[in-house]
């Protein structure tokens, strides 16, 4: 994969000094995705499902055809793809609709300390409301979820397993192909947070057999404000809407009303139409690049970077065995916020903080971490720019007395 060529697809790289290493927070957006968004607003920026005129027909066609693109992309059926505002919104729908209806007093919900707050907190609310128990999978010394440790907490009381595909802090991939069948054996439903998975790896919801799966557009070269909730048709069918109002309803009487079928009963009000259409374009872009190439490229960058970082004294890497392009680290004795200002001065964008996952930060026993994350447009020059800056940072902070 020629990342230097790919950079040309992104106008933001007109700034030749930009070293963007924060794709796990949000990826950059290629021009062709922006153009599709632009085209919607300029040429047919009207509502869907409502107008009987031609422009509205075009908008509806494109919106629904994007749903089909995404369904094909993850091997789901058309009706199983719900457009949401993002992964957080999608995960909340699962907890509020499925969780509130099916979890009862004494039931157990399996979570773990790696989960993003958007996956953890909705289930915390369900557990509180229903007097159910949150059960944590013990993490290994490396901070991983293993099938073995999952089995230690799986019981006949388990109703729901809320779990990430890829951790946004540690970058580890969860062994879902083993965990999901085990959960199904006890009759539990598995809700997968794939916000860090879908951008980097082929996900086939049928072969994975996930019950729910959520992801965000803006982390996979698409727009902000759009995401996807996949749910198995049988589950979606009997679930209640979370929000009521326009577009999601079939017939309305004075005291009763009947909701549409999935996915529409979960898409209340005017959706982010241009964003949904542009997400379809992002999917086509990813498919043209090819997941195999993306993985291989990110792996190569990650291996090189970790190997070189390990040569620098005074740097701690928290996930040296990681299999994706996410590296969590700190400069010893330097608060990540101090460090990140140094990198910023070299026009290197990276994340410092707890990454919306306070539990794993606490698990690591640090106040916060630095994180770099690679994606399709990152080059070995980016890696070198980072490594040079890292060496400079270590020396600088030492020189001023840290």
Catalytic residue among 46, 356, 366, 387: 356
- Provide the mask over 127-166, with x wherever binding to ligand PLP is found by CB under 6 A and - wherever it is not: -------------------------------------x--
- Interaction partner, residue 164 (ligand PLP, another protein, none; CB < 5-8 Å by kind): ligand PLP
Environment class of 394 (CB within 10 Å of its CB; exposed 0-12, middle 13-18, buried 19+): buried
* Per-residue mark of binding to ligand PLP, 220-249 (x: CB under 6 A): -------x----------------------
Query: Under the criterion CB under 8 A, does residue 20 sit at the interface with another protein?
Result: no
Compute the CA torsion angle 373, 33, 208, 371 (nearest 10 deg). 10
Tokens matching residue 232: 């198995």
**Contact assessment for residue 145 and residue 360, using Cβ atoms and an 8 Å cutoff:** no
Stretch touching another protein by CB under 8 A, among 28-36, 142-150, 315-323, 394-402: 394-402
With CB under 8 A as the contact rule, the residue among 338, 363, 384, 398 that binds another protein is 338
Q: Is 290 in the site for another protein (CB under 8 A)?
A: no
**In whole angstroms, how close is the CB of 169 to ligand PLP at the nearest point?**
8
* 371, interface contact from ligand PLP, another protein, none, CB < 5-8 Å by kind: none
Q: Is the CB of 168 or the CB of 378 nearer to ligand PLP? A: 168
| Residue 361 site contact among ligand PLP, another protein, none (CB < 5 to 8 Å, cut-off depends on kind) | another protein
Alpha-carbon Rg for the chain in angstroms: 22
Taking CA atoms, 365 is separated from 210, 313, 318, 327, in Å, by: 32, 21, 11, 17
Question: If binding is defined by CB under 8 A, does position 381 make contact with another protein?
Answer: no
Chain positions 57 to 86 lying near ligand PLP, rule: CB under 6 A, are 86
Q: Which residue number, 93 or 368, has a Cβ lying nearer to another protein?
A: 368
22: three-class secondary structure by DSSP = strand
What torsion, rounded to 10 degrees, do the Cα atoms 201, 32, 371, 205 define?
-20
Smallest gap, in angstroms, from Cβ of residue 397 to another protein? 8
- Choose among 160, 69, 72: nearest CA to 108: 160
Q: What are residue 353's DSSP bridge partners?
A: 369
Q: Is 27 in the site for ligand PLP (CB under 6 A)?
A: no
Burial (CB < 10 A; 0-12, 13-18, 19+), residue 92, is buried
**Residue 396 is a binding residue for another protein (CB under 8 A):** yes
Which x/- pattern, by CB under 6 A, does the window 297-326 give for ligand PLP?
A: ------------------------------
The answer to whether 149 touches 138, Cβ cutoff 8 Å, is yes
368 binding partner (options ligand PLP, another protein, none; Cβ < 5 to 8 Å by kind): another protein
| 245 near another protein, rule: CB under 8 A | no
Specify the residue for token string 């995404």: 70
CB of 237 to another protein, least distance (A): 39
Is residue 356 flagged as an active site residue?
yes
Contact status: 392 vs another protein (CB under 8 A): yes
Tell me the C-alpha distance between 169 and 171, whole Å. 6
Consecutive H or E run containing 193: strand 189-193
Q: Exposure string (b/e) for 119-157, b if CB count within 10 Å is 16 or more?
A: bbbbbeebbeebebbebebebeeebbbbeebbeebbeee
C-beta of 198 vs 334, nearer to ligand PLP:
198
Residue placing its CB nearer to ligand PLP in the complex, 119 or 385? 119
Per the CB < 8 A criterion, the answer to whether 251 and 257 are in contact is yes
Given ligand PLP, another protein, none, residue 86, with its beta carbon under 5 to 8 Å by kind, binds: ligand PLP
Are the C-beta atoms of 82 and 92 separated by less than 8 Å?
no
Residue ranges in contact with ligand PLP by CB under 6 A? 86-88, 116, 118-119, 164, 168, 193, 195-196, 216, 227, 356
Residue ranges in contact with another protein by CB under 8 A? 335-338, 341-342, 344-346, 352-354, 361, 367-368, 392, 396, 400-402
Enzyme catalytic residues: 356
């Amino acid at each position: 994969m020629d990342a230097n060529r790919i950079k040309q697809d992104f106008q933001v790289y007109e700034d030749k000094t930009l070293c963007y290493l924060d794709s796990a927070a949000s990826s950059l957006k290629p021009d062709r995705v922006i153009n599709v968004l632009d085209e919607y607003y300029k040429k047919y920026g009207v509502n869907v499902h409502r107008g009987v005129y031609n422009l509205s027909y075009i908008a509806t066609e494109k919106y629904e055809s994007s749903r089909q693109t995404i369904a094909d992309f993850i091997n789901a059926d058309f009706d199983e793809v719900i457009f949401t505002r993002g992964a957080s919104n999608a995960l909340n729908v699962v907890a509020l609709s499925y969780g509130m209806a099916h979890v009862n007093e004494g039931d157990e919900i399996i979570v773990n300390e790696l989960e993003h707050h958007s996956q953890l907190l909705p289930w915390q609310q369900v557990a509180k409301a229903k007097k159910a128990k949150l059960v944590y999978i013990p993490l290994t010394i490396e901070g991983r979820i293993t099938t073995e440790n999952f089995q230690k907490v799986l019981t006949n009381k388990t109703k729901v397993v809320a779990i990430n595909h890829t951790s946004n802090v540690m970058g580890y991939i969860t062994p879902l192909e083993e965990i999901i069948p085990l959960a199904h054996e006890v009759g539990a439903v598995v809700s997968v947070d794939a916000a860090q998975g879908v951008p980097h790896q082929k996900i086939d919801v049928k072969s994975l057999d996930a019950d729910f799966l959520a992801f965000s557009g803006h982390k996979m070269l698409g727009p902000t404000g759009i995401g996807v909730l996949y749910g198995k048709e049988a589950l979606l069918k009997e679930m209640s809407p979370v929000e009521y109002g326009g577009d999601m309803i079939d017939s309305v009487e004075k005291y009763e009303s009947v909701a549409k079928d999935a996915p529409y009963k979960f898409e209340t009000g005017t959706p982010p139409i241009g964003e949904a259409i542009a997400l379809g374009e992002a999917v086509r872009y990813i498919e043209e690049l090819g997941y195999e190439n993306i993985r291989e490229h990110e792996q190569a960058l990650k291996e090189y970077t970790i190997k070189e970082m390990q040569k620098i004294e005074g740097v701690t890497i928290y996930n040296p065995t990681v299999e994706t392009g996410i590296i969590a680290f700190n400069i010893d004795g330097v608060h990540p916020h101090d460090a990140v200002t140094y990198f910023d001065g070299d026009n290197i964008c990276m994340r410092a903080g707890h990454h919306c996952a306070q539990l794993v930060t606490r698990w690591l026993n640090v106040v916060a971490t630095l994180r770099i994350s690679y994606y399709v447009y990152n080059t070995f020059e980016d890696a070198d720019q980072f490594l040079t800056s890292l060496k400079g940072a270590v020396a600088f902070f030492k020189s001023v007395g840290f």
